[in-house]
Chain A
């Protein structure tokens, strides 16, 4: 079972890398300033996604360092980092954080990586011809716990889509879901597990989406 899971991870990673390299090769053929800028953005995104993918795989065998940090600041960083990629796809990302949020207790790389991977998958997988409009929100929805979520009514995102990527056995299984590998969906789930949480369905300002809960640092100090 473990071998099969690892094979699925490896195949998904390779399909995504192939697609990124095809994009870069094709843009390079055009040899104009716009395409060269796109090559730069895609390369940077590819390296960042690969960084999170390797971390997700390697961290399965290690105990991660949890610290007190600002979920709002972490999510703001992720949104800023993805804006160039979003521009290449005609997508827009809106960031919405509740005011005066207390620090949370989490592993920063897992938190950022999980949302980065999910957001980038939504941006690059959209094929319905509608420019993706995505909202990233950090809210205090109940005492001592914050919710990090990704929402959109232009780009479908659901728990079923995330789970489907875990069950794939071949490249063509993505038909019906997306033309992309689903690597981002897979990484986002793996890193949510590292945070000792899991994605669930939520709504934010009437937008459907998914997210997860993270505990505030103060709650742990009380325990």
Chain B
């Protein structure tokens, strides 16, 4: 499976790569910022995206709005793994669904292994 990981923290990005390749034999594409991610998605066509929402210079939500505006990318499943709790956003379940977010994980309480297992569950169902 090809997973695109949008994670601005270099240390965490390396950890993502280790977990997904070691435990699930995935091909991981790492992006530190959302602008580079759009180009990666266009050229590499990932099966799923796991991403932080606290990004710079474009916010994660602005990135998701842009991603969903492209017809070709509209059905790529997205999983959020963020250091910002979901309650901090003024968004209901319908809004997250409309952005194609399958699940919201919080870095403080959820493990990276749990995120990887969930993504594989989603991809196996599809």
Q: Which residues of A contact B (CB under 8 A)?
A: 18-19, 21-23, 25-27, 29-30, 32, 35, 38, 42, 88-90, 124, 126-129, 171-172, 174-179
Contact = CB atoms under 8 A, between A and B. Distances in A.
A38 B12 CA distance: 11
Given A18-B83, A29-B113, A177-B56, A23 B9 contact: yes
A42 B52 CA distance: 20
Interface of B: 8-12, 15, 18-19, 32-33, 36, 52, 54-59, 83-84, 88, 107-108, 111-113
B84 A179 contact: no
A89 B10 CA distance: 6
B83 A35 contact: no
A13 B36 CA distance: 29
Nearest to A38: B11
A127 B56 contact: yes
Contacts of B52: 179
B32 A171 contact: no
Contact of A127 (B8, B15, B83, B108): B8
Contacts of B11: 23, 26-27, 38, 42, 88-89
Given A18-B83, A127-B32, A171 B12 contact: no
Contacts of B84: 171-172
Contact of A179 (B9, B88, B112): B9
7 contacts: A29-B19, A29-B111, A42-B11, A90-B10, A124-B9, A128-B32, A174-B54
B15 A26 contact: yes
A19 B83 contact: yes
Contacts of B88: 171-172
Listed from nearest, the 10 A-B pairs whose CB atoms lie closest are A179-B8, A127-B8, A127-B32, A175-B59, A22-B107, A26-B15, A23-B11, A89-B10, A179-B54, A127-B33
A176 B83 contact: no
B85 to A, nearest CB: 10
Contacts of A29: 15, 19, 111-113
A23 B19 CA distance: 14
A175 B56 contact: yes
Contacts of A19: 9, 83
A173 B31 CA distance: 21
B108 A18 contact: yes
A128 B15 contact: no
